Chains A and B, each alone.
Chain A
Amino acid sequence: MGEITELLKEWRAGNAEALERLMPLIYPRLRAIAGSLERMEEASPTVQATALVNEVYLRLVQQRSLSWEDREHFYSFAAQVMRLILADHARARLSSKRGGTMKRVPLHENVPWVSVNHEEFLDLGRALDELAAFDARKVKVVELRYFLGCTAEETAEILGLSKATVDRDLELARAWLFRRLKGTGGSVPIG
């Protein structure tokens, strides 16, 4: 638990090796999520899991100047980097789309209606920004759960919340996002 915070401290103090020791701690997680997204790419080397993870790594390295206070900060940052990278790839894929038939690649099994190679993935980014305006915590939960592949327990531990709260936040955020992205809306009888 304290290890990441310790390493971050060392890194900020100028110990370049600290990052090397830091990365393996989140590497398996990044790999796992990247691997699950790998199938979206048809023979395109740019989005192989390893490349994706390397990209996260490189972006982290480039962000040296950012001072991450603690573990939560670091994880949230990593999740956001993942989000940015996926958005970049989505954009790239959309602009090079051939013929229009593209298999869907859900961001996460809980949100099959958000495909990372679909316009809706970019919509998701906008929706998350909107949600953050009045409930930033839910966005953090979404990012950790869906973009970094954390379990509910891990998310709870990282954010210092109870698991029940994390579950509840995620359910609400998911409903809100679905309504915002896919819902029909307006069909509710007002009485």
Chain B
Amino acid sequence: MSPERWKEAEGYICAAWELPEGSRAAFVREKCGHDAELLVEVLTLVDARREADEWRAPMEEARGERRFGAYRLEKMIGRGGMGAVYLGARADGEFEQKVAIKVVGLPFEIGPLRQRFKQERQILADLNHPNISHLVDGGVTEDGELYLAMEYIDGVPLDEYIRLRKWSEAERLGLFRQIASAVAYAHQHLVVHRDLKPSNILVTADGVVKLLDFGTAKLLSEQEGGQQTATGDAFLTVAYASPEQLRGKAATTLSDVFALGAILHELLTGERAFAEGLGERLDAMGAGPRTIAGDLGLIVGKAVEAEPERRYGSVREMLEDVEAYCAGHPVKARAATWGYRAAKFARRHKWAVGASALVVLAVVAGAAMTLWQARKAQQRFEELRGFARFVVSDLHTGLQQLPGSTALQRTSVERSLAYLNRLAAESGADDGLRLEVADGYRRLGDVLGNPYAPNLGDRKQAENLYRKGLAMAGGVRQSAEARRVVAELEIQLAGAGGFGGEKGNGLEEIRKGAEELDRLSKAAPRDVALRLSAARGWEALGTRLVAGGGNIEGVGTKEAEAAYRKSFGLAEGVLAERRDDAAAMLQLARCEFNLGLLYGSEQPVLALEHQRRSLALLDRLPEGSARLGARQMRARVLSNVGWAEGQAGMHAEAVGHLLEAAQVLEALSAGDPGNTNLVYTLTGAYRALGIVEDYRKRHAESVQHFRAAVGLHEKLLGIDGANKVYRYLRAELLVRAGNGLVAMGRESEARAAAGDGLVGLRALASDEKASMTHVFGACRWLTDTEVVSLRDGAGAAVFCRKVVELTGGRDLDGFAGLAKALWVSGDKDGAVRELEKAIALLPPVRVGEPASRQRSELETQLKKWKAGR
């Protein structure tokens, strides 16, 4: 259909829709005349709207076939909590029974969770009260969906009900007594409702009250819309929430008393007792409604006191007062005025035997009751906490092992933390829970942006979460567990902040954290997890000391080596006791790997030995999840084996290993595109490939690999533009690529690449707080670029002197760089002098080992220079 004809058709269709159905066809026929094609087009579309409106899903596709226990679903009747609520009926037709089925949209099909769910179901099943919608059935379907089947209530919400007609005070109080007795009953059965409100209370045609969602609110409801606060993840309804709930404290049985007071007020006046807006509520905290006269006003007032201890001691007590009012007895709400009590008493009875004794007894019983209820509520809380612990730690650990699941981890940990946040808001001063929440923050931080593990590259967010964790753990009473959690968080925060940041950032914090974990593990030698945590702490310190993966910051090398050795020792100790402990094996492999990195280019043979041992350990990991999670690690090791081989002159082996590493990493990265750590590792493999191919003069391959690495760094910079590691490596790789291009005779491309790179290197090295790696980078490449016109001996000399100064003359790279810079700028004697200093600092050649590439290069250079002077 051409746009023009379509326009014409549109006009007729819309005009026809304006007409009564019967006259449309005639209208269209008249307009279209003999244009049959247009006529069909217009008529079918005119009809299509009605057909589209009338369309009904074919029955066999409806949800009807899905079974939930003995029930099948009939239709959706609402959404709430974490999933939808459906009307269901017995599928076997044995007897007519309607149920409301709440399908819980938890995404986890995991055994222990079902266990928890069953326990929860058990709690609900125990609630058997005529005014509580009771649990009929519940469980897990074949498809793994969790569901609760509740008694189906055919009624209207309380607020609508009271507007249906004018009810007498006795009728209104009758409704309230049903509600309160249900809540009191629940309190006896360890359940605090916490979200009592008229919309959660249905009234049937017979005037019977039914409370809904009892108990589920706490564990299962996530969000229901309406005037609920989303802040702090504590979902509550502002207009009925007690001040303590609004302040984020734990809801108790007394919070339910408060809500009942608000409901009673609304029942009596038809007006809400409190504002719906959180701001207004917080502003007017403590101010109760004062619109009801007489005893009922006093009852409401006492129930909604801002201070929980000034309210009724229990729902039962409040109920008794309402009942007392109905019977014309004195209400306790007025207890303060003895004159009133006496007057009322005198009006009712002419005799006064033991009245005061009865009052005392009631108060004592009430207090005992409250204590008992608090204990029950605490038990329930423990259960919830166990659930949260499971979701956050077990589930997360499991997920971490899956390849390609970074995004999934994020989702699951976010959800779990939402639970924890809510629990934390309830927990008040519960130290254990606060620590678990803090630990949860650390885990989520790791998933989001711990640069030393698979992560989503959101470093800022990760740091935020670590800080939140520290704040959460901050107020907790000192204990070994608290110290562990804090130390781990400190290490992660410092590590994330330091990665790609300023030199020395976070070093002290990591050192302190590692020492703390070490102390703790020594105090609890049987705690394997703690020992491995300490091992990770030492490793983090070592890694931070040699930040960036190079060994140029020579000052830290010795300490780094010591740190890795400590980590190694701890992991080895664990492995000696538990031969197949995958975590310990992995830690050991990481240590070997890091030691290999540390010896790097200076002692290639030693480095290779460590890398190969690391590889062997990784291959020894038990089949299954741990091994899967170690694939990336293995690729990293392979890539460093390749690197070390390249340094030792085994070029063909090196390229083989590096290509294998790159291939694995590409595959992993394709399966987990959100994982920036993978991309970063991949750049390392390409960089090494470029360098080794350059060694054996395969310039085309070399340039290709360098460019691949540059491209990946640019991708990373797109996510984290301020990252200095990425910026430095991109620049350095461009200069290297430039050198290869010169060798291939592609001068103008070479100049463009090297020029771009050198600008970047100068900028990084000129920074006041530049790291040694970056200063040395500029020092080196300003003389080592093969694009002769871009060489700058004088500029390089400035940077190199800075390196020598910073290393206190203990590092050979500074002298070697300075020598070259002097040579380029024409100071040949000076160049020879500095180069000799550099060679003197080389590690001695060991018998039976080839001289390192660095040694042979420097010695050849010296010979050449001496001859050419």
Q: Which of A21-47 contact B (CB under 8 A)?
A: 38-39, 41-46
Across-interface contacts of A176 in B (CB, < 8 A):
45, 48
Interface bits A96-129 vs B (CB < 8 Å: 1, else 0) = 0000011110000001110100000000000000
User: Once the chains bind, are B43 and A45 in contact (CB under 8 Å)?
Assistant: no
User: Once the chains bind, are B719 and A16 in contact (CB under 8 Å)?
Assistant: yes
Query: With A112-B55, A175-B52 as given contacts, are A103 and B62 in contact (CB-CB < 8 Å)?
Result: yes
Q: How far is the CB of A166 from chain B (nearest CB, A)?
A: 13
Secondary structure at the B interface, as helix, strand, loop or mixed, is helix
Candidates A45, A51, A113, A171; contact of B49 at CB < 8 Å: A171
Kindly report which residue of chain A lies nearest to residue B84, judged by CB atoms: A39
Query: With A103-B61, A172-B13, A175-B13 as given contacts, are A183 and B44 in contact (CB-CB < 8 Å)?
Result: yes
Across-interface contacts of A5 in B (CB, < 8 A):
none
User: Once the chains bind, are A134 and B45 in contact (CB under 8 Å)?
Assistant: no
Interface bits B33-73 vs A (CB < 8 Å: 1, else 0) = 00010011001111111011001110011110110000000
A44-B109 Cα distance, complex, nearest whole Å: 9
Q: Which of B769-790 contact A (CB under 8 A)?
A: none
Across-interface contacts of A185 in B (CB, < 8 A):
44
Candidates A42, A64, A168, A190; contact of B14 at CB < 8 Å: A168
A113-B105 Cα distance, complex, nearest whole Å: 24
Across-interface contacts of B720 in A (CB, < 8 A):
16
Kindly report which residue of chain A lies nearest to residue B63, judged by CB atoms: A103
Tally of A-B residue pairs with Cβ under 8 A? 122
Candidates A39, A41, A179; contact of B48 at CB < 8 Å: A179
User: Once the chains bind, are B105 and A39 in contact (CB under 8 Å)?
Assistant: yes
User: Once the chains bind, are B3 and A172 in contact (CB under 8 Å)?
Assistant: no
A182-B411 Cα distance, complex, nearest whole Å: 37
Residue B474 lies at the interface, judged by CB distance under 8 Å to chain A: no
Which of B57, B146, B415, B673 has the largest number of chain A CB atoms within 10 A? Answer: B57
Kindly report which residue of chain B lies nearest to residue A36, judged by CB atoms: B79
Candidates A44, A62, A182, A190; contact of B51 at CB < 8 Å: A182
User: Once the chains bind, are A50 and B411 in contact (CB under 8 Å)?
Assistant: yes
Candidates B3, B61, B414; contact of A134 at CB < 8 Å: B3
A107-B107 Cα distance, complex, nearest whole Å: 21
Q: How far is the CB of B12 from chain A (nearest CB, A)?
A: 11
A64-B716 Cα distance, complex, nearest whole Å: 12
Across-interface contacts of A44 in B (CB, < 8 A):
107
User: Once the chains bind, are A58 and B407 in contact (CB under 8 Å)?
Assistant: yes
Candidates A14, A38, A175; contact of B45 at CB < 8 Å: A175
Across-interface contacts of A12 in B (CB, < 8 A):
none
Residue A61 lies at the interface, judged by CB distance under 8 Å to chain B: yes
Interface bits B718-731 vs A (CB < 8 Å: 1, else 0) = 11110000000000
User: Once the chains bind, are A50 and B415 in contact (CB under 8 Å)?
Assistant: yes
User: Once the chains bind, are A113 and B55 in contact (CB under 8 Å)?
Assistant: yes
Query: With A101-B61, A134-B1, A175-B52 as given contacts, are A61 and B719 in contact (CB-CB < 8 Å)?
Result: yes
Query: With A39-B105, A175-B48, A175-B49 as given contacts, are A134 and B66 in contact (CB-CB < 8 Å)?
Result: no
Q: Which of A156-191 contact B (CB under 8 A)?
A: 168, 171-172, 174-176, 178-179, 182-183, 185-186, 188, 190-191
Interface bits A121-142 vs B (CB < 8 Å: 1, else 0) = 0000000000000110000000
Across-interface contacts of A61 in B (CB, < 8 A):
719
Residue A55 lies at the interface, judged by CB distance under 8 Å to chain B: yes
- Hey, which bits of chain A sit against chain B, CB under 8 A? 14, 16, 38-39, 41-46, 48, 50-51, 54-55, 58, 61-62, 64, 101-104, 111-113, 115, 134-135, 168, 171-172, 174-176, 178-179, 182-183, 185-186, 188, 190-191
Can you list 5 A-B pairs with a CB-CB distance of less than 8 A? Answer: A16-B721, A101-B66, A134-B3, A168-B14, A175-B49
- Hey, which bits of chain B sit against chain A, CB under 8 A? 1-3, 6, 10, 13-14, 17, 29, 36, 39-40, 43-49, 51-52, 55-57, 60-63, 65-66, 76, 79, 83-84, 103, 105-109, 143-146, 407-408, 410-412, 414-415, 673-674, 718-721
